[in-house]
């Protein structure tokens, strides 16, 4: 099975297109989003340390292709643990069964910034850090 996500980076709430081929004809395909890295052949429920979000289910067509989309979630709440989505590296997985064997995987980068401290009196020095931006990308503050 193959998997492609487009774009390969974005913000929380962005629409991400998922396409793939070589899936079993007309079978249901589950799509997961997680901060935990796993390999093809691993299992969602065993290898993602309880941190994932089922973002979509779809069906392969008569040619074994999938084409759908999901929106980047703000939280990962479907596993045993819950985690807020922040800027950094994430992974998109496909399976044939709920929380089952991983059939394909692709990396996805959530772009984002953190500001510290988040409040203070006038004149407080603030540190801004960003993740997932292109080299020399213009950022407006």
Q: What is the pLDDT of residue 132?
A: 74
Tell whether the model's pLDDT for residue 133 goes beyond 80: no
> In the CATH hierarchy, which top-level class contains the domain 4-112?
mainly beta
Handedness of CA 57, 53, 95, 9 (dihedral sign): positive
Domain boundaries, the chain: 4-112
Average pLDDT estimate for 98-119:
92
> How many Å apart are CA 113 and CA 2, to the nearest integer?
32
> How many Å apart are CA 37 and CA 88, to the nearest integer?
12
Q: What is the pLDDT of residue 106?
A: 98
Task: Compute the half-sphere exposure of residue 121: CA atoms within 13 Å on the CB side of its CA.
Answer: 0
Average pLDDT estimate for 4-10:
97
> How many Å apart are CA 82 and CA 116, to the nearest integer?
23
Q: In the chain, which ranges are E strands? A: 4-6, 9-10, 15-20, 28-34, 53-59, 66-71, 75-76, 83-84, 88-95, 102-110, 112-116, 127-131
> How many Å apart are CA 111 and CA 105, to the nearest integer?
19
The neighbouring-strand residues paired with 5 are 18
* pLDDT tens digits, 69-107: 999 999 999 999 999 999 899 999 999 999 999 999 999
More confident residue, 33 or 114: 33
């Amino acid at each position: 099975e193959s998997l492609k996500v487009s774009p390969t980076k974005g913000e929380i709430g962005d629409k991400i297109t998922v396409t793939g081929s070589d899936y079993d004809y007309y079978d249901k395909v589950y799509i997961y989003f997680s901060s935990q890295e796993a390999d093809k052949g691993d299992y969602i429920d065993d290898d993602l340390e309880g941190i994932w979000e089922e973002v979509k289910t779809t069906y392969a067509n008569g040619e074994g292709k999938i084409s759908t989309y999901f929106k980047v979630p703000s939280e990962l709440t479907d596993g045993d643990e819950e985690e807020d989505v922040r800027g950094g590296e994430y992974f998109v997985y496909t399976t044939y069964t709920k929380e089952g064997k991983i059939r394909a995987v692709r990396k996805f980068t959530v772009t984002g910034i953190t500001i510290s401290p988040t409040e203070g009196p006038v004149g407080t020095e603030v540190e801004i850090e960003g993740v997932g931006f292109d080299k020399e990308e213009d950022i407006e503050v």
